[in-house]
Amino acid sequence: MKFLKQIGQFQKYLLALAPFLCFFLGYVLCNLLIGNKTYNTPQLIGLSLHQAVEETSPYHITIQLIAEKDCPGAAPGTIISQKPSAGRLIKSHQSIFVVITKLPQSALAPDFLGKSQEAIEELKQENKVKLKTYGLQYSAPKGSCIGQIPQSGQPIIDKKIIAYTAQDKTNKYIMPDLTSKDLLEVVEFLKNHSSFS
């Protein structure tokens, strides 16, 4: 009788543990059949981030950038350290943490506003930028800069700057008030005054 009671208690414990045992056996079976494959960590030091991603993507290993440091002699964006180190075992979907050399900062636009044509040319040479200038009628000394794109202190894209300079042309026109005129009258007026068309 005692033996039967012990078997009954054992069955109760077994039923309570059954979900945990099923989960554990399923996990082990999935790992055996599908597997979470392990690979040797590739050597990434000396590669660019793009090259490192190409190297690791077939194994579903991600690259995580954790820092940028100065490293004289190394090209910007080059990986200079990695964890885990090359040769250690790593599983799919794990990360390799890398440190790269600092990328060059974008050059910022110099301040051309109010400067003469000669000063603008000097700044252009110093900053090694391509400059395109456009002349506009403006009441400022001839050749002085009255506007620029990008503005002073903004990043320069493709090392190109556009500067607008004042011209001494003083051709002025008085624009007539055409607000109450119909379209035919306006067209006729423009035909008669070709400088407006």
150 touches 183 (CB < 8 A): no
Residue 45's nearest CA partner among 86, 93, 75, 76 is 86
Identify the band that residue 173 occupies on the pLDDT scale cut at 50, 70 and 90.
Answer: low
Write the burial class of residue 47 (CB in 10 Å: 0-12 exposed, 13-18 middle, 19+ buried). buried
State the alpha helices, DSSP H only, in the chain: 2-33, 49-56, 117-127, 183-192
Contacts of 195 (CB under 8 A, 6+ apart): 173
CATH number of the domain that residue 91 is part of: 3.30.10.20
pLDDT in tens, 100-141: 998 777 788 899 998 988 888 898 888 888 999 888 888 888
pLDDT averaged over every residue in the chain: 82
Instruction: Classify residue 2: in a domain, yes or no.
Output: no
Same domain for 100 and 129:
no
Inter-residue contact 92 to 59 (CB < 8 Å): yes
Q: For residue 109, what is the DSSP state?
A: P
Domain presence at residue 86: yes
Would you say residue 157 lies in a domain?
A: yes
Same domain, 91 and 53: yes
Domain boundary among 75, 104, 133: 104
Please give the tally of structural domains in the chain. Answer: 2
With a cut of 70, say whether residue 37 has pLDDT above it: yes
% of the chain with per-residue pLDDT over 90? 17
Q: Kindly tell me if the per-residue pLDDT of 170 is higher than 70.
A: no
d(CA 88, CA 82): 11
Range of the structural domain that residue 140 is part of? 117-167
